Structures are given as structure tokens and as C-alpha cells.
Amino acid sequence: VKDRQTKQIRLTEGDDIKTVKELLVHGSVNYLIGRYADPKPAQPVDVYIKFVNTAENNLGIPLPAGIIRLYKQDIDGTQQFIGEDRIDHTPSDEEVRLKAGRAFDVVAERIQTDYRQITSNRHESEWEITVRNRKNEDVKVGIIEPLYGHWKILENSYDYKKTDAFSIRFDVEVPRGKEVKVTYRVQIGF
């Protein structure tokens, strides 16, 4: 390496790592306290890849902070680049979660079907999130809705789980070539 020159080198490599692919749609708290009339209701569907950094999973070493690049073997055995993300220092036996990009064959749209302001600090709104699957296989999509203040779900078309004090998550199966509509009504107070 010459003076003031940089060279990028591969620090570690792992093969045959068992991963889990996750498709997620993220809402926004800004949607909940006013009328939402976005003329383009499209929502990105993010693709995440998760794995556990263990010896049984062909890793099990402390991973330094930096960029992890993801490759997948195609039918011909050629490695195809599928995405990259930056991680923090990660010790062994911990989960690593990487955002690989956005899905182009699974799409989501959000519309507000009802809204009313009850008081100056209490709002009620109803939402419809449509997820369309254009893949040749069934997919599972997580819809994460951030909430805040004192919130209460009044109606919902699918079961949800409370992931923390200010978020809920719907997990829906979307058959290939079909669409699924998730609706819910929420009351927010602050």
C-alpha cells in the first residue's frame, strides 16, 4: 500500500450460513394525528436477512463493525450479489440483522379510511394496508405500526402482537399472485 492509499480487504467469509428472510412494511407515527391524503400511498417493503453468529452456523467469531455483503448461489452455481448493510461490533452467539434492500415483487399501499379528532389531544383513525404478492411463491409480510402516547386498538381485521410499548406488528400470509388487506382502527391520546 502506497502512502495515503487505501485498500479494502475481506476480513472474514462464511459459507452455508442458515438465514431467515423477513419482509417488513413500516408505518409512521406522523400518520396517526391528522388527515392523511398522500396521493401516492405506496409503502416500501423492506427485505431483511437474519442469522445467528454461532459455530453451528459456520461462524461463531466476533464480527467487527463494517459492511457485510450478501451473496446467493444461483442455479448455475455462480454467486449473485443480493445486498449489503453495515453492522456494529457483534460478539459470537448473537443475532445479526441486515437490511438487504427493497422487494420489487411484493408491494404495499396504505390509505386512511376514516379520521376524526375527538379532542385537541385525542385522535381516532382507521387504516387499510394492502399487500400484493407478485412472486411465484407465498410470502409472509410483517407490518409494523409505531404508536405513541396512550393508544388503544378499537378494531382489527388480523391479529397483532404488541412488540413494545409503542409498536404493534401484524404478520400476514400473502399467497402468490394475491393481495391481502389489513385494516385497523386506533385511538391515540397524548
Distance, in Å, from the CA atom of 44 to the CA atom of 53, rounded to the nearest integer, reads 28
Looking at residue 30, its pLDDT comes to 73
Q: Judge whether residue 8 has pLDDT over 80.
A: no
| Cα(10)–Cα(144) distance, integer angstroms | 35
Q: What is the dihedral of CA 163, 129, 179, 158, to 10 degrees?
A: 50
Distance CA 185, CA 124 (A): 7
Q: Please give the mean pLDDT across all residues of the chain.
A: 91
Res. 40: pLDDT tops 70? no
Q: Is 123 helix (H, G, I), strand (E, B) or coil?
A: strand
Question: Over 80: is that where the pLDDT of 12 sits?
Answer: no
- pLDDT value of position 4: 83
Q: What is the largest CA-CA distance in the chain?
A: 68
For residue 39, name the pLDDT band (cuts at 50, 70, 90). low
- Among 19, 79, 23, 88, smallest CA distance to 54 is for 19
Q: What number is the average pLDDT over the span 155-166?
A: 96
Q: Around Cβ 41, how many Cβ atoms within 10 Å?
A: 15
Determine the pLDDT at residue 171: 98
pLDDT value of residue 126: 95
